[in-house]
Amino acid sequence: MSDATLILIQAVLLTISTAATPLLLAAIGELVVERSGVLNLGVEGMMVMGAIGGFIGMIVTGNPYIGAVVGVLFGMALSLLFAVLTLTLATNQVATGLALTILGLGLSGLIGEPYVGRSAVRMPVLNIPGLTDLPIIGRLLFGQDLIFYISIALIVGVAWFLFRTPSGLKLRAIGDNPQSAHALGIKVIRTRYLAVLFGGACAGLAGAHLSLVYTPQWTENMSAGRGWIALALVVFASWRPFRILAGAYLFGAVSIGQLHAQALGIGIPSQFLSALPYLATVIVLVLISQNRRLTLINTPASLGKSFVPDR
């Protein structure tokens, strides 16, 4: 295999990884939220708020790492609003989540208007002499940005937390039957608050990745539907963390594939190619819905249902 071919393969794999990272982050956060029995459809709004938060933080400080932290805080702020409305005031989770997305898209466009067209400092990548230069896997494993490694660590950490710790067991118990969990003395509302905040932090970091790594700039609505794909990924993965990893990279490959197809001038309308990732999402969800047993095995039994503890 020639050097040019190796370089091309490495470049394609790197772009797939970059495209998959925000999907992976947003989906793993939402998985924890849904495992607690809460359905937050505001992932898109939290992502785009994380994107503008990360960009503003980077512009003000000149440090992309501080920008990423600000993006996390922006995502958490919006998720806290969702938590107060749905967990404390017991509003409808579906309607509140949709409103959260609309709020996030509008608010990010408003506060981000002065930053349109400004360039960002791209988050630096890791460079380990001797390892980063390895063919194909060097840049892929040892030459990525910090957020990429955080996303992989979160997959492992969430899997361990949910299935290997008492706190994870309590979280899953709340998602299946909050009334019984409350009767056993488990703090249902507090646990759900923490889960929702974690989901907001992950969505905010995913948005920060978009404006600091994927395309280091701010453009209105730059999340471009990725929050909805992340929601679909949770169902695609049957609420299992490591399946999120496979699903995110599959959808990342579809997204990058359509870009390469356009670059090669393949005789397919560009509008169809741009819609391909979302079409793939619909097709996957339809296929999954045909197997109700697979869908019901891991679905939290109380997903989307409000819980008001006895006083």
User: Which tens digit of pLDDT belongs to each residue from 26-57?
Assistant: 999 999 999 999 999 999 999 999 999 999 99
**What whole-number distance in Å separates Cα of residue 257 and Cα of residue 21?**
16
Q: Report the percentage of the chain scoring pLDDT > 70.
A: 87
Task: Identify any residues that bridge with 145 across adjacent strands, giving them in sequence order.
Answer: 125
Share the mean pLDDT of the chain: 87
Task: Please tell me the predicted confidence (pLDDT) of residue 291.
Answer: 67
pLDDT at 308: 84
- Percentage, residues of the chain above pLDDT 90: 55
* CATH code for the domain of 239: 1.10.3470
CB burial string 283-311: b at 16+ within 10 A, e below:
ebeeebeeeeeeeeeebbebbbeebeeee
Residue 247's domain comprises 18-298
| Calpha distance 143→296 (Å, rounded) | 39
Closest CA to 24 of 250, 220, 283, 300: 250
User: Could you give the number of structural domains in the chain?
Assistant: 1
User: Cα dist. 156→2, 45, 66, 153, 253 in Å?
Assistant: 35, 26, 24, 5, 22
The pLDDT of residue 271 is 65
CB burial class (10 A; 0-12, 13-18, 19+) of residue 225? middle
Taking residues 139-153, report their average pLDDT.
90
Least reliable range by pLDDT among 53-62, 187-196, 205-214, 218-227: 218-227
288 versus 150: the higher-pLDDT residue is 150
- Report if residue 311 sits inside a domain: no
Alpha carbons 75 and 257: distance in angstroms, whole number: 29
Asked if residue 38 lies in contact with residue 29, where contact means CB atoms within 8 angstroms, the answer is no
Residue 1 within any structural domain of the chain: no
Q: At residue 201, does pLDDT exceed 80?
A: yes
pLDDT at 139 over 90: no
Pick the residue with more confidence: 238 or 211? 211
Q: Alpha-carbon distance 202 to 72, whole Å?
A: 7
pLDDT value, residue 267: 62
**Residue 34 DSSP SS3:** helix
Whether 134 maps to a domain, the answer reads yes
- Residue 221 resides in a domain: yes
Region of poorest pLDDT, from 106-115, 135-144, 170-179, 285-294: 285-294
pLDDT band (50, 70, 90) for residue 273: low
pTM of the model: 0.92
Does residue 4 carry a pLDDT above 70? no
305 domain-assigned: no
Distance CA 147, CA 122 (A): 12
In a domain? residue 8: no
In a domain, 13, yes or no: no
> Is 117 within the bounds of a domain?
yes
- With 60 as the cut, is the pLDDT of residue 311 above it? no
